[in-house]
Amino acid sequence: MPRPQHADPRRADARRNRERILDAAERLLQRSPSAAVADIAAAAGISRSTLYRHFADRRQMVEAIAARPAGRSPGATDGALPSGHLGRDRPVVLDAIQVFDVVPPALLPDQLVAEAQRMAGVPVALYMLDIDGTHLLRIAGPARLPDQIESPLAVGPEIDADGLGDLRQYLRRYPGTQVFPLWLRGRAIGVLITFGPPVRSLMELARQAAAAVTLADRYTDAFARAQRRKQPTAAAEIQQSLLPPRVCRITGGEVAGNVLPSYEVAGDWFDVVENADGVWITLADGLGDSTPAAASSAVALGALRASRRSGSDISEALVVMHQTLREMPGPRAEMTAIAAHWDPTTSEVRIANCGHVGPVVLRAGADAEPMTFSEGRGLGGRSTPRPDERRVPLLSGDRLLMVSDGVVMSGKGQAGLKIQGLIEAAQRAERQTAADTVRLVHTALLEASGRNLDNDATVVCLSID
């Protein structure tokens, strides 16, 4: 009797890898025709050797993109997998859940490096990014390189695919090194650096390490300590605990955001979350930068999340934040705030504003549309605010840019880019990703202020694929 025929799971896995590579290549090459093969591999979450197994060279990959069916949107394989396809059909070199269960969180950095060195056959070091995105800081491994390496500006302690390419280029000044990113959901939270060519790629190990580190980080200070070159103020430490991942891959696009400076002041915060009905982005600017102001921010963020999780819309959530701030004892805690809800099914973003700087819409054709709102009240004052609402379409290639007043206003400790300077900085982002936009605006801020910001400067960008 003939044996039943089953689809070869290795072939299905290879097909998924091929489509993932083409999706990543199509997105990156649309925005940056010179994107490196290493960047494409990182964006696809696979090793370069895996990429080259599918495409012998760059030309063959470009031809495969051109041959794809018309109307197919890049990223079609980046969302949820079909039911019954979440499991793996082959073993992994390191299992994040097992590592989390058996390795004490504080010992995880040394254990990861030991395993990486066993596989690579060469010395390996693990570096994390500083919270202000300016340095790589060694957390484990041999001292072949400095404890601190100044690096191209990242989006806080995270690197996107484009930033990873910049980092690899920068590290060429250290001959013989190779970089393997701890890649998770569209960004790297650290890098493994090998000293010499590894006998075996560390790409898969690095990806599992990223998941293990993310799980362990809530149970130890080891990683947070490694991300700080100096001691933050108490207010700044509270602020860091409030912030979400700085680079977030979402359905139909990407959100990136960060607050500078990272060590001294803490009046701003932002929040990003994707639910079944779309993406919420909230940005608030507290009055003052003291520890009580940071504590007020934590209370306001708690009110936002409680309201959102109870089914409120963005305007209702802002009013709940106001009411909660009014209930706090002591001096009145006030802040401006803006909330946006992006619905990918309608290609529309709804924005509610309470006294905050209006956002800017950057169109794919390079046009910029600053949004104006009425001079409304902020949150926490004597009178209940009336959120001013606007709706605007966001189509493929468009970006929504939200900032705090420390970015555009002139005055003590503020860079004073003004809206036009903000637009000019954002339009220099050739790749037009959310992360690249945030990075270039913050670069302009640092240059304008002589790297001496005394007021929080927050930049959040939503980019549509």
Residue with the larger pLDDT of the pair 288 and 65: 65
Residue-averaged pLDDT of the chain: 87
pLDDT, residue 266, reads 73
- Residues 211, 254 within the same domain: no
- Residues 248, 137 within the same domain: no
Residue 88 lies in a domain: no
- Residues 242, 381 within the same domain: yes
Instruction: DSSP letter for 139, please.
Output: E
Residue 60 lies in a domain: yes
Name the strand (E) or helix (H) holding 168. Answer: helix 161-170
pLDDT, residue 4, reads 45
Tell me the per-residue pLDDT of 360-371, one tens digit each, with 9 for 90 and over.
999 998 899 999
- Residues 107, 142 within the same domain: yes
- Residues 326, 408 within the same domain: yes
* Boundary of a domain, candidates 66, 82, 114: 66
Q: Among 164, 156, 154, which residue's Cα sits nearest to residue 132?
A: 156
* Boundary of a domain, candidates 164, 199, 226: 226
* Boundary of a domain, candidates 23, 46, 66: 66
128 touches 139 (CB < 8 A):
yes
pLDDT, residue 198, reads 94
Tell me the per-residue pLDDT of 122-147, one tens digit each, with 9 for 90 and over.
999 999 999 999 999 999 999 999 99
> Which residues neighbour 189 within 8 Å (Cβ) at sequence distance 6 or greater?
128, 129, 157, 158, 182, 210, 213, 214
Helix, strand and coil in the chain, % to nearest 5: 40, 25, 40
- Residues 161, 262 within the same domain: no
Residue with the larger pLDDT of the pair 436 and 24: 436
Residue 153 lies in a domain: yes
Number of domains in the chain: 3
Q: Among 203, 201, 210, 266, which residue's Cα sits nearest to residue 233?
A: 266
Q: What is the CATH number of the domain that holds 49?
A: 1.10.10
- Residues 287, 415 within the same domain: yes
Q: How many CA atoms lie within 13 A of 255 on its CB side?
A: 22
Q: How confident is the model at residue 5 (pLDDT cuts 50, 70, 90)?
A: very low
Q: Helix or strand or coil: residue 147?
A: coil
Name the strand (E) or helix (H) holding 180. Answer: strand 177-184
pLDDT, residue 84, reads 64
Residue 321 lies in a domain: yes
Give me the helices (H) in 287-353, please.
291-309, 314-326
- Give me 394's structure tokens: 């966001």
Enter the pTM of the model. 0.82
- Residues 251, 311 within the same domain: yes
Mean pLDDT of all residues in 72-100: 65
Cα-to-chain-centroid distance, residue 135: 17
Q: What is the CATH number of the domain that holds 450?
A: 3.60.40.10
Q: How confident is the model at residue 19 (pLDDT cuts 50, 70, 90)?
A: confident
Residue 300 lies in a domain: yes
Residue 4 lies in a domain: no
- Residues 222, 240 within the same domain: no
- Residues 53, 128 within the same domain: no
pLDDT, residue 3, reads 45
Q: What is the CATH number of the domain that holds 169?
A: 3.30.450.40
Task: Check pLDDT > 60 for residue 76.
Answer: no
Q: Please identify which residue in the block is written with the tokens 């202000």.
A: 132
User: What percent of the chain lies above the pLDDT cut of 70?
Assistant: 89
Tell me the per-residue pLDDT of 392-436, one tens digit each, with 9 for 90 and over.
999 999 999 999 988 988 665 555 789 999 999 999 988 889 999
Q: How confident is the model at residue 18 (pLDDT cuts 50, 70, 90)?
A: confident
Residue 439 lies in a domain: yes
- Residues 222, 238 within the same domain: no
Task: Check pLDDT > 70 for residue 89.
Answer: no
C-alpha radius of gyration, the chain, whole number: 23
Residue 422 lies in a domain: yes
Report the C-alpha gap between 278 and 399 in whole angstroms: 16
pLDDT, residue 26, reads 82
Residue with the larger pLDDT of the pair 110 and 416: 110
> What is the domain range of residue 33?
9-66
- Residues 13, 55 within the same domain: yes
CA distances in angstroms from 427 to 306, 378, 387, listed in the order given: 36, 30, 29
